[in-house]
C-alpha cells in the first residue's frame, strides 16, 4: 500500500511541476525518480531502479483523475527541496496521505 501511495504521489507531483517548471510529465517523473535514487531512497519506496519508478509513475499519472492537480501541487513542493532528508520526508508524507 505504501508503494502504491508513493507512486500516486510522485506521479501527481511531477505533473504539477510540468505545468510550473516548464517540463513535460515524463521528464518530471524521471526527475523525481532520479532524485529518489540520488537520495538513496528509491529502494525504500519499493523500486528496484529508476526505470521501474518512472514506468509506475507514468501509469499512475494517467489514472490520477480529478485529484491530479492537488497531488501535482504537492509533488512540485517536494521537488523544490534540495536537501535529501527534506525531499524524502515530503514524498513519504505525501505518499501516506495520497488517495
Q: Quick one: pLDDT at residue 83?
A: 96
Task: Count how many residues are written for the chain.
Answer: 99
Q: Quick one: pLDDT at residue 48?
A: 95
Q: Look at 23-27, 31-35, 75-79, 85-89 and tell me which has the smallest mean pLDDT.
A: 23-27
- Cell readout for 5 is 501511495
pLDDT band at residue 97 using 50, 70 and 90 as cut-offs? low
The C-alpha atoms of residue 39 and residue 85 are separated, in whole angstroms, by 8
Provide the domain count of the chain.
1
pTM of the model: 0.68
The DSSP secondary structure of 20-33, one letter per residue, reads HSS--HHHHHHHHH
Range of the domain at 90: 2-97
**Helix and strand element counts for the chain (H, E):** 5, 0
Q: Summarize pLDDT for 41-90 with one digit per residue, the tens.
A: 999 989 999 999 889 877 776 777 777 777 767 778 889 999 999 999 98
The C-alpha atoms of residue 85 and residue 20 are separated, in whole angstroms, by 23
Amino acid at each position: 500500500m505504501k508503494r502504491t501511495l508513493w507512486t500516486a504521489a510522485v506521479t501527481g507531483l511531477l505533473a504539477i511541476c510540468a505545468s510550473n517548471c516548464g517540463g513535460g510529465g515524463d521528464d518530471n517523473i524521471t526527475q523525481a525518480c532520479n532524485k529518489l535514487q540520488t537520495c538513496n531512497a528509491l529502494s525504500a519506496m519499493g523500486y528496484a531502479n529508476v526505470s521501474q519508478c518512472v514506468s509506475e509513475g507514468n501509469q499512475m499519472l494517467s489514472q490520477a483523475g480529478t485529484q491530479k492537480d492537488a497531488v501535482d501541487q504537492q509533488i512540485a513542493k517536494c521537488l523544490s527541496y534540495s536537501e535529501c532528508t527534506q525531499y524524502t520526508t515530503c514524498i513519504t508524507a505525501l505518499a501516506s496521505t495520497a488517495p
